[in-house]
Structures are given as C-alpha cells and as structure tokens.
Amino acid sequence: MSLLTARGVSVSFGALTVLHKAGLSVAAGDRIAVVGPNGVGKSTLLRVLAGLTRPDEGTVSAAGTVGYLPQERDRREAETAREYLGRRTGVAAAEQAMIAASDRLAAAAAGPAARASTVSEAQAGRDYAAALDAYLALGGPDLDIRATELAAALGLPADLDRPASGFSGGQAARLALAAVLLARFDVLLLDEPTNDLDLSGLDLLEQHLAGFGGGLVVVSHDRAFLERAASQVLQIDPHTREVKLYGGGYAAYREELARDKAHAAQAYQTYASARDDLIERARRQKEWARSGERTAKSAAMRRKEPDKNIRAGMAQGAQAAAAKGSAALRAAERLEPVAEPRKEWELRLRFGAAERSGDVVAVLSGAVVRRGTFQLGPVSLQIGWGDRVLIQGDNGSGKTTLLQALLGRIPLDGGRGSLGASVRVGEIDQGRLTFDQNARLLGAFRLACGLTEPEARTLLAKFGLGADDVGRAAGSLSPGERTRADLALLMQSGANLLVLDEPTNHLDLPAIEQLEQALDRYDGTLLIVTHDRRLAEQVSVTRRLTVREGTVSES
C-alpha cells in the first residue's frame, strides 16, 4: 500500500519550469534517492511531497504521517535544542493540535449555552481521538526521555534547554541527526542528511535507516551513503524536468544510465548516418540529372548526335536520375527522427599552476585555543610547501578550529603560530558565507576577485550561475549555488594554499567528480577537511591528521 503518492505534479517559478508531470509512489520499505544537478528541483520535490509547496498542477496524497527535514539546519533564534527536536520530529505540532482538539471537545461538552463552536460533541470527540493518535504515533509522550538519552549517546550538551543557535557546526549536525533518529514518521523526506556528519554519525544514520520500516525519500550527494541507503533512484531530467525511476540501487542506476546514454548516442549516430547518406545520394542524383539534361539539350550534343530519339533517351535518363534524387529525399524524410542527445552542463573546474610560496606554509608551536569548556591543543605542527593534508575527526573535535588557528584567523590562548611568506589562501568555509549575504552576488563577487562585470558574469556562468542568479542577494542562493560561487572565486584566486572545509557539501555528483579531478591536478599546498568517504579515497594526500577531543595526531 502506498503511504505517499504524487501524480502529475508540475511546479513553475515564473517562467522557469522546475517539475513537469512528476509522479511517485512511496510504500513501506521503499528507499528512493532523488538525484539530478544542483537547481534541478530536488528540494522542491521534497517540499511538494511534504505539503509545504503547492504544485501548480497534480496532486499529492498521504496515507500516513510524513516528516521533512531540510538540508539547512534551520535553527531559530531563541529556540532551545529541545524545542528544535520537538519541531523537527513533528511532536510539537501534534501536541498543539491535540491541545486545540481537547479545547474544542471541552467546549462542545459544556453544552449549547457555553459552546463557542458549531462542532458537535461527537465530531469534537472524533477530532480529539485522531489528534491523540497522531501524537502517540509520533512518540510524543516519551520524546523528552528519548531525546535526553540520545543526546548523551551523540555527545551533545546534556542541557537541551540551551539555545540551539549556540551549537557549533558539528553539534548542529549531530542535533539534526538526532531529529532523524527520534522521528517516528511513516515516510521520511531527508534533504542532504549527511552534510557535516562525521564517520560515526554516518554509521548511526545508515544503521537507523536500514532498520526503518517506513518509506524513505532522500536527496544526497554522498555516493557511499547512496550505495548503502537507496534501493531505487528517481532522476530529475535537467532539460524536460520530468522524472524517471530506476530500480536496483545507486550503482545499478549509474550503470543503467551509462547504457542509456550509450544507446541514445548510438541510435542518433545510426539515424544521422542514414539521413546524411540519403541526402548525399539525393544531391548526387540531382547533380547528375542537371548535368545530363544540360548535355542532352546542348548544341554540341545536337551536332554530335543527330538522332533525336537518342537525345530524348538521354533527357529521360536525366529525368530518371532526378526522380531517384527526389525518392532519396523522401526516404530521408520518412526516417523515424531520433533526437540528438543533449550535452550536459559540466563544471569545468581548473586550478591554475600555483605560484610557489616559501618552504614553510604555516606553523603552530605549542598553540592552545580555548572556547568555553573546549580546548584545542597544545598543538605543534608545521605545514610545508606542497603538503597535501587530510584532516579528519568527529564532529566538535576541533577540526575547523585547527584550520582557523593555522591561518591566523583566531587568537591563541597559548603558544604561537604564523603563516609563511608569499602564502595566498583560497578557502571554502563550512558555512558557505564567503560573500555578504545581503549584497547582490555579482557585486560581492567582483569585490572579492577584482574582475570587471563582463569577466565576472562570464566566470560565474561557467559555474552554472546565470543572469538571474547573479542579480540575487547572495543569502537567497541555494547552498549548492553558494558553493559553486565559492568554487568560481577559488579558481580565480590563484591561491597556492587551498583550505577546504567540507567542500562536497551541497555539490551535485558530477561537480564532486570534477572537484576531485581538479584537486588531483593542483600543485600547491592543500588542507582539506571532509567526511565524504569517496572524496577521502579519491584525492591523493601526503599527510593525514586526526583531531580527537582537541588533540591532534598524525598517521
């Protein structure tokens, strides 16, 4: 039985069609990954399925509870961690609905004189029973107990009544994970649930989803996660905005997609060759016909061949050749047309040859950084020219703090640190907040890189950011669009030290593969923090650092 069904869903934003006649059915046990390039409509589809965006056409119906967890952590000002979990698990809304239903029931039971509503007592009773069932099904009564126990297991602060907005990036990722693990929806809609999660968090998420009995629809660019979590893949075509469902999991989808592309290319090649051959044959036949007819009618031919019957036969031969040419053209027109496969947009990422810095790029000597109760260090570490360093560790262990200390971005509470001579830093930070969030992207980008407006527009367009995108406020861009803008700036920077903090977050799969290739060709110094297991495997490194509870070790 389908728990969630979408039929003929179309969504447009102005003149832009985002989804066209999309259909999907989600049953218990289904594990569906939604894939496609950045901006193709994956998040929009999840919002439509969650009932948060109304489609222009089509319908969405649910036979169970549906939970949606967006990719951005959406922590709200003054909202506690406990309130955040209540909201994200649906328990808070269910509790409010139950209280409202209880009030209506009490008013109906008080009799006509006191009744403020026209709802009958019987109907109010049914509404309350439904609201209570929903609250119980979502695990409302014991949410606080479960949340406290899970917070301890995840290493979150014991005090869940502190503001969630004060959590570090790593803690925010764990808090979002806790919401997934605590949720008891019939259908889970997860948008980039692996972003910022460390390896242990990824393991917990994958184990939880493996035992989850409901339906799952997930958007993710983590290839290892997709291979483990998805049994079906729903692809959104970037040109038609239609969807196609592939069975057999993510690896099978990649293989079938490659076969589909090869078959489409071969079919078009066969069609184009047959069409071109017929058109060329028609051209030759018509040229022969024109030449033969001119010859048959010429005065020289009349002198050489006085027999008018022979000349007439030559003219008829020319006409027959012309008829064959016309027949060849008609045959070309009768061929079943085959559309030429579209060339997909690619992120062609290239980091230029890095101008050499000094031998010593960055140094920490007995460095200590304290932030509240957390302490990084003391750390003694030297990064040399050409080092390619992978930094890994659990959420909240101090990886980002280590990067900021190496770059001299934060004051040290002990020890010393310095950045080497002639070091030019190119950086992607975890928050994707490189540009002024209130400024137009084009202006903020030009301010950061010094390009003229035409040059900046051209470069951003190469990263899939067109005229409509560059005129928007940087803060209104999607996380994927902000990441591409960061990459454009990085390519232009001529950096000899690349510092990348979770660079694959929000990037689509082809872009991640392009990033891997660009990093392998880069000849400068590289510092990279990532929990993307495939990226860690694919990018060659010379050193590996592990940060654990504020201590740094090298393996």
pLDDT digits (tens, 9 = 90+) for 138-174: 999 999 999 998 888 887 887 888 888 878 777 788 8
Position 317 confidence tier, pLDDT thresholds 50, 70, 90: low
Calpha distance 155→308 (Å, rounded): 105
Which residue type sits at 372? G
Percent of the chain with pLDDT over 70: 85
> Does the pLDDT at position 543 exceed 90?
yes
pLDDT at site 60: 94
**Structural tokens at position 409:** 């971005």
Closest CA to 200 of 168, 154, 234: 154
- CB neighbours of residue 214 within 10 Å: 22
3-state helix, strand, coil in the chain (%, to 5): 45, 20, 35
On the CB side of 260, how many CA atoms lie within 13 Å of its CA? 11
**Segment 301-316 mean pLDDT:** 53
- Residues 6 or more apart from 16 whose CB is under 8 A from it? none
Cα angle 339, 343, 348; round to 5: 180
pLDDT at site 303: 46
Most confident of 149-163, 208-222, 293-307: 208-222
pLDDT at site 464: 78
* Range scoring the smallest mean pLDDT among 21-30, 319-328, 418-427: 319-328
Handedness of CA 204, 210, 212, 216 (dihedral sign): positive
Q: Which residue has the higher pLDDT, 510 or 389?
A: 389
Position 312 confidence tier, pLDDT thresholds 50, 70, 90: low
* Range scoring the smallest mean pLDDT among 48-52, 202-206, 393-397: 393-397
The string of pLDDT tens digits covering residues 175-194 is 888 888 898 889 999 998 88
Calpha distance 82→77 (Å, rounded): 13
**Segment 225-248 mean pLDDT:** 90
> Does the pLDDT at position 412 exceed 90?
yes
The gap from C-alpha 276 to its chain's centroid, in whole angstroms, comes to 40
Position 204 confidence tier, pLDDT thresholds 50, 70, 90: confident
Q: Are 425 and 407 in contact (CB under 8 A)?
A: yes
> Does the pLDDT at position 202 exceed 60?
yes
Q: What is the DSSP letter of 420?
A: P
> Does the pLDDT at position 551 exceed 70?
yes
User: Is beta strand 425-428 parallel, antiparallel or unpaired with respect to 497-501?
Assistant: parallel
Calpha distance 192→544 (Å, rounded): 26
The string of pLDDT tens digits covering residues 30-44 is 999 999 887 788 989
Average per-residue pLDDT for the chain = 83
- Residues 6 or more apart from 222 whose CB is under 8 A from it? 194, 202, 504, 532, 533, 534
- CB neighbours of residue 376 within 10 Å: 27
Most confident of 91-95, 288-292, 422-426, 483-487: 91-95
Closest CA to 504 of 441, 428, 402: 428
pLDDT at site 432: 67
Position 118 confidence tier, pLDDT thresholds 50, 70, 90: low
